[in-house]
């Protein structure tokens, strides 16, 4: 995507969450057929608003839906015939009215695929995605020291993936079941998304605390900021005025900083990974020759702004921000453009000709409308590449 190269790969393994501390007061309707399916409700929201009609065939099935179905059948398909009978459904407190929308063949029983659809609908209504399940599994494997499949709160005393762990414990038994963990992660992710906080921001916040938290309170106080190259101005994100920055507050700061600079999550992760993988002495600097600059980028200036032969994180971020501005599109537009080209590129040249746009059958409102070909083909080479299409998608999205 960039016109320069780093000689190191980049992989996003971070993800996280954010809230303002009122998570513990959220009302939730719980449906727990497979151990992790729930339907959260916002404060003051009537619970009945969650039971909106959903077309079962419009739901995208995920890996976790199949796993949930397998667990449910192992426990409740008493005669092992591959279906849930009316009696078996009653054991789950599933009434005829409950199962009717999912009995697609009108047999009166629920086959495995029908149960999978039902669980997927309820998962989607709860706002749970595959990443929530992945993270729940990852954190359980990391912190479950007694290997009982649950997380005791004492096992999480030193964690930094959330500053609202206590709020996950719905039944106040001082431990988190898989259901409680995935529910808490899903809610925090959803709330974080509303604030514009991405996984790279949460991961960065966790990294800052791991690096600079001298007293082990899982926060950064004012006198700990220097250790992670943050100044006192960062404290304006101390939302609860406790004179320390929590994971969520640091994530909000990093998200604000990233957006102010014009960086995308992939830019941010690229810069951090270069430092992480090529900074053996831990001074926060890497050799400037790690970055190879193409001739077309010369007007952006040197990445090594101070000419000392090393690149700091700030220098890399600054350069990537300039490059992002030149590209003129974000990660979402790039992904969409790549999908559209892969879907319609019949000759395999990773570009779209006007004939391929015609063959796509796209209507005039689509970015693949043949009528828009000349608008998208900015270099007039009779072909649309990924960057041209991504710029057009970004532009029309803003309009």
Question: 72, 106, 126: which is the final residue of a domain?
Answer: 126
Same domain, 121 and 150: no
What distance in Å separates the CA atoms of residue 267 and residue 330, rounded to the nearest whole number? 10
The pLDDT score that the predictor gives to residue 254 is 95
Same domain, 210 and 312: yes
User: Which stretch of 8-12, 275-279, 289-293 has the lowest confidence by average pLDDT?
Assistant: 8-12
What pTM was estimated for this model as a whole? 0.69
Q: Does the residue 42 lie in any domain?
A: no
Question: 168, 194, 220: which is the final residue of a domain?
Answer: 194
The pLDDT score that the predictor gives to residue 57 is 74
* H or E element that contains 216: none
The distance from CA 2 to its chain's CA centroid, rounded to whole angstroms, is 22
Q: Does the residue 87 lie in any domain?
A: yes
Q: Does the residue 103 lie in any domain?
A: yes
Q: Does the residue 43 lie in any domain?
A: no
Same domain, 283 and 380: no
Residue 28 backbone dihedrals phi, psi, to 5 degrees: -140, 135
Q: Does the residue 393 lie in any domain?
A: yes
The pLDDT score that the predictor gives to residue 285 is 86
What distance in Å separates the CA atoms of residue 223 and residue 213, rounded to the nearest whole number? 10
Same domain, 356 and 261: no
Domain with 225, as residue range(s), is 199-327
**Domain total for the chain?**
4
Same domain, 284 and 358: no
Q: Give the Å distances, CA to CA, from 51 to 36, 56, 119, 127, 357.
A: 18, 13, 14, 13, 41
The pLDDT score that the predictor gives to residue 294 is 54
Residue 258 backbone dihedrals phi, psi, to 5 degrees: -60, -45
Task: For 314-346, write each residue's pLDDT tens digit.
Answer: 889 999 999 999 999 999 999 999 999 999 999
pLDDT, average across residues 16-22: 34
What distance in Å separates the CA atoms of residue 110 and residue 6, rounded to the nearest whole number? 53
Task: Collect contacts of 315-321 with beta carbons under 8 A, ≥24 apart.
Answer: 316/270, 316/271, 316/274, 316/275, 316/291, 317/261, 317/263, 317/267, 317/268, 317/271, 318/261, 319/291, 320/2, 320/263, 320/267, 320/270, 320/271, 321/261, 321/262, 321/263, 321/267
The pLDDT score that the predictor gives to residue 45 is 31
- Listed in sequence order, the residues at least 6 apart from 299 whose beta carbon sits closer than 8 Å to its beta carbon are none
pLDDT, average across residues 106-129: 93
What distance in Å separates the CA atoms of residue 247 and residue 15, rounded to the nearest whole number? 12
Same domain, 273 and 285: yes
The pLDDT score that the predictor gives to residue 29 is 24
Same domain, 215 and 271: yes
Q: Tell me, what CATH number does 105's domain have?
A: 1.10.238.10
The pLDDT score that the predictor gives to residue 241 is 93
DSSP reduced 3-state for 28? strand
Same domain, 259 and 140: no
What distance in Å separates the CA atoms of residue 23 and residue 6, rounded to the nearest whole number? 41
First to last CA, the chain: 24
Same domain, 308 and 283: yes
Same domain, 241 and 156: no
Task: Collect contacts of 66-71 with beta carbons under 8 A, ≥24 apart.
Answer: 66/116, 68/33, 68/34, 68/35, 68/36, 68/37, 68/116, 68/119, 68/123, 69/34, 69/112, 69/115, 69/116, 69/119, 71/34, 71/35
* H or E element that contains 220: strand 220-221
Question: 327, 351, 384: which is the final residue of a domain?
Answer: 327
What crossing angle do the helices spanning 313-327 and 247-261 adopt, rounded to 10°? 50
Q: Does the residue 33 lie in any domain?
A: no
Same domain, 290 and 209: yes
Q: Tell me, what CATH number does 173's domain have?
A: 1.10.238
Residue 123 reports pLDDT greater than 50? yes
Same domain, 59 and 103: yes
- Under the banding of pLDDT at 50, 70 and 90, the label for residue 251 is very high
Q: Does the residue 8 lie in any domain?
A: no
Task: For 192-210, write each residue's pLDDT tens digit.
Answer: 888 899 989 998 999 899 8
Q: Which of 248, 127, 241, 234 is nearest to 190 (CA)?
A: 127
Task: For 86-96, write each residue's pLDDT tens digit.
Answer: 999 999 999 99
* Mean model confidence pLDDT for the chain: 83
Q: Does the residue 359 lie in any domain?
A: yes
The pLDDT score that the predictor gives to residue 137 is 92
């Amino acid at each position: 995507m960039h016109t320069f190269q780093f000689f190191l790969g980049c992989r996003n393994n971070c993800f996280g969450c954010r809230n303002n501390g009122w998570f513990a007061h959220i009302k939730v309707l719980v449906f727990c057929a497979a151990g992790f399916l729930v339907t959260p409700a916002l404060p003051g929201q009537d619970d009945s608003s969650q039971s909106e009609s959903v077309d079962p065939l419009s739901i995208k099935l995920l890996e976790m839906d199949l796993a949930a179905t397998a667990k449910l059948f192992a426990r409740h398909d008493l005669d092992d015939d591959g279906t849930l009978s009316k009696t078996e459904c009653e054991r789950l407190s599933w009434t005829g009215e409950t199962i009717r929308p999912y009995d697609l063949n009108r047999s009166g029983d629920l086959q495995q695929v029908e149960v999978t659809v039902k669980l997927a609908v309820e998962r989607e209504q709860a706002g749970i995605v595959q990443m929530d399940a992945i993270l729940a599994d990852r954190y359980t494997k990391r912190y479950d020291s007694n290997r009982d499949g649950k997380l005791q709160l004492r096992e999480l005393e030193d964690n930094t993936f959330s500053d609202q762990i206590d709020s996950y414990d719905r039944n106040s038994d001082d431990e988190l079941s898989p259901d409680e963990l995935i529910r808490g992660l899903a809610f925090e992710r959803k709330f974080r998304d509303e604030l514009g906080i991405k996984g790279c921001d949460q991961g960065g916040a966790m990294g800052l605390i791991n690096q600079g938290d001298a007293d082990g309170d899982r926060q950064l106080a004012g006198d700990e900021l220097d250790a992670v190259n943050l100044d006192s101005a960062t404290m304006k994100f101390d939302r609860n005025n406790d004179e320390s920055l929590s994971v969520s507050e640091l994530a909000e700061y990093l998200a604000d900083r990233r957006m102010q600079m014009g960086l995308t999550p992939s830019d941010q992760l690229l810069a951090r990974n270069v430092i992480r993988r090529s900074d053996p002495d831990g001074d926060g600097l890497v050799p400037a020759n790690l970055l190879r600059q193409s001739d077309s980028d010369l007007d952006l200036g040197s990445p090594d702004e101070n000419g000392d032969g090393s690149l700091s994180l700030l220098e890399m971020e600054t350069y990537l921000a300039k490059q992002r501005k030149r590209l003129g599109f974000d990660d979402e537009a790039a992904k969409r453009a790549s999908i559209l080209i892969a879907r319609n590129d019949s000759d395999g040249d990773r570009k779209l000709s006007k004939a391929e746009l015609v063959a796509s059958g796209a209507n005039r409102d689509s970015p693949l409308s043949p009528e828009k070909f000349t608008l998208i083909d900015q270099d007039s080479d009779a072909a649309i590449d990924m960057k041209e299409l991504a710029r057009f998608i970004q532009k029309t999205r803003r309009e």
